């Protein structure tokens, strides 16, 4: 039976209602069993189809009838995401004008061959060989940060460990020169943490990347910036300088919060499941599988990137109109019992087929290109925090934890800090 939109108009769900704050996974489970697509409302009146089931989310992410660039849908009008960002942060006109000059094609907002071209340019920087070569550096930075916390005896695991670790790895991957890293870290902190100096931080990063691209074109190294600089000089790639800068900024956006929040979420999950932590400590070789399970239950990514229907169609038994927006609930998918028996249970021994695992890295053409790097950082962090030591303890009760303002559908919410004793 086809369900028409008119039948669901009176059933618009608010993801900011109390049930989603009190029991987000349970609330999503009720939506998932109710319908594969649920009409949800956002602040400001926007309505979006929330895709609730793992199988259907995978289909949306791979179906060419759905695109990530709304401008490709006939009849679409409205400001770009860049212009919305400038308006949201009240960016001064002269700063906005300069920033526009640095923004080229955005990997996350491209479809079809344009997306394939940009992803192919980035791919050499994310080969298994290059990512594994980063492991010693990730281990070194992690050990140093933990030594600093050990000396203090306590600290904030999010802002004194996970955040600095992720930032250091980003700088290493991009190829930021060692002498420049303190200043670049300041700009990144202002930009990616959305401080009052957001625009100044982003502008500093973009200006620096422009200069670094010029340096690496003259003297290449084994890093992401050199990969992009070489692509700019390849006749068959057609990569502009703004394209290259946008690609780096996209990597920063994707890598930072997702990894730090995953690290602290994993500590909480393991502390709440002491039998699983004991099992992992007794079998440390199971760590890669444990990271996959922790990515399933502790992912900080709540929603898949929005897709737009390019034509009227029927999807999962629901009539979807051209221009309708659809987004998948990653948490609903990751707890879908059709894919994960006893989904509410954290099981570090859980094994799933490659095509049936969690969706924390997405799926289809837009699956996270940095998934291997994120898993590596997670492995090192969990190994150093929870396996090589047994003393790290959350220093406050769960009721005392403080969170950032939740995004619609967010589960779990994102911590502002995680106080721990060492």
How high is the pLDDT of residue 407? 55
CB < 8 Å & 24+ apart, contacts of 362-366: 362/61, 362/304, 362/305, 363/57, 363/58, 363/61, 363/62, 364/58, 364/61, 364/62, 365/61, 365/62, 365/115, 365/116, 365/119, 366/61, 366/68, 366/108, 366/115, 366/305
* pLDDT tens-digit map of 268-320: 999 999 999 999 999 999 999 999 999 999 988 888 989 999 999 999 999 99
Q: What is the mean pLDDT of the chain?
A: 90
* pLDDT tens-digit map of 346-371: 999 999 887 889 999 999 999 999 99
Q: What is the dihedral of CA 106, 111, 117, 119, to 10 degrees?
A: 60
Residue 163 backbone zone (phi > 0: left; psi -120 to 50: alpha; other: beta)? alpha
Pairwise CA distance, residues 201 & 182, whole Å: 13
Domains detected in the chain: 5-421 (1.10.630.10)
- Tally of helices (H runs) and strands (E runs) in the chain: 19, 11
Q: What is the dihedral of CA 301, 111, 355, 40, to 10 degrees?
A: 50
Entry pTM: 0.91
How high is the pLDDT of residue 3? 46
pLDDT tens string, the chain, 422 residues long: the values are 344 454 445 578 887 788 887 888 999 999 999 999 999 987 666 789 999 999 999 999 999 999 999 888 987 766 776 777 788 778 899 999 999 999 898 899 899 999 999 999 999 999 999 999 999 999 999 999 999 999 999 999 999 999 999 999 999 999 999 899 999 989 988 888 777 788 999 999 999 999 999 999 999 999 999 999 999 988 888 899 999 999 999 998 888 888 999 999 999 999 999 999 999 999 999 999 999 999 999 988 888 989 999 999 999 999 999 999 999 999 999 999 999 999 999 999 999 887 889 999 999 999 999 999 999 999 999 999 999 999 999 999 999 999 876 555 555 668 899 999 99
How high is the pLDDT of residue 17? 81
How high is the pLDDT of residue 245? 96
SS3 106: coil
Range list of H helices, 63-162: 81-88, 93-100, 112-122, 128-133, 135-152, 157
User: Given CA atoms 157, 158, 159, 160 in this order, what sign does their dihedral have?
Assistant: positive
Query: Which runs of E-coded beta strand occur in 15-111?
Result: 37-41, 47-51, 66-67
Pairwise CA distance, residues 240 & 229, whole Å: 9
């Amino acid at each position: 039976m086809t369900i028409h939109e008119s039948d669901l108009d009176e059933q618009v769900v608010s993801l900011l209602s109390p049930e989603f704050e009190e029991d987000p996974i349970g609330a999503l489970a009720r939506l998932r069993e109710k319908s594969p697509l649920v009409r949800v409302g956002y602040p400001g009146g926007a309505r979006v189809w929330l895709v609730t089931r793992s199988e259907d989310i995978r289909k949306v992410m791979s179906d060419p009838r759905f695109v990530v660039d709304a401008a490709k849908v006939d009849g679409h009008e409205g400001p770009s995401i860049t212009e919305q960002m400038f308006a949201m942060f009240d960016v001064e006109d002269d700063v906005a004008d300069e920033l526009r000059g640095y923004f080229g094609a955005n990997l996350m907002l491209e479809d079809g061959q344009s997306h394939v071209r940009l992803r192919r340019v980035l791919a050499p920087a994310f080969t298994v060989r290059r990512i594994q070569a980063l492991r010693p550096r990730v281990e070194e930075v992690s050990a140093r940060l933990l030594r600093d916390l050990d000396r203090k005896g306590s600290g904030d695991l999010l802002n004194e460990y996970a955040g600095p670790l992720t930032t250091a790895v980003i700088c290493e991957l991009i190829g930021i020169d060692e002498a420049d890293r303190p200043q670049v870290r300041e700009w990144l902190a202002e930009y990616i943490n959305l401080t009052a100096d957001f625009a100044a931080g982003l502008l500093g990063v973009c200006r620096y990347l422009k200069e670094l691209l010029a340096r690496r074109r003259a003297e290449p190294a084994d890093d992401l910036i050199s990969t992009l600089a070489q692509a700019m000089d390849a006749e068959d790639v057609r990569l502009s300088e703004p394209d290259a800068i946008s690609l780096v900024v996209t990597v920063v956006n994707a890598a930072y919060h997702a990894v730090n929040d995953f690290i602290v979420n994993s500590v909480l999950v393991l502390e709440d499941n002491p039998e699983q932590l004991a099992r992992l400590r007794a079998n440390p070789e199971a760590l890669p599988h444990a990271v996959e399970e922790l990515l399933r239950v502790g992912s900080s990514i709540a929603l898949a990137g929005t897709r737009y229907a390019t034509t009227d169609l029927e999807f999962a038994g629901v009539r979807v109109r051209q221009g309708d927006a659809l987004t998948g609930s990653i948490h609903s998918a990751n707890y879908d019992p059709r894919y994960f028996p006893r989904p509410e249970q954290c099981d570090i021994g859980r094994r799933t087929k490659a095509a049936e695992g969690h969706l924390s890295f997405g799926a289809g053409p837009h699956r996270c290109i940095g998934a291997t790097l994120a898993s590596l950082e997670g492995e090192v962090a969990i190994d150093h925090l929870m396996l090589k030591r047994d003393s790290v303890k959350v220093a406050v009760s769960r009721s005392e934890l403080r969170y950032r303002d939740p995004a619609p559908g967010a589960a779990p919410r994102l911590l502002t800090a995680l106080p721990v004793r060492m």
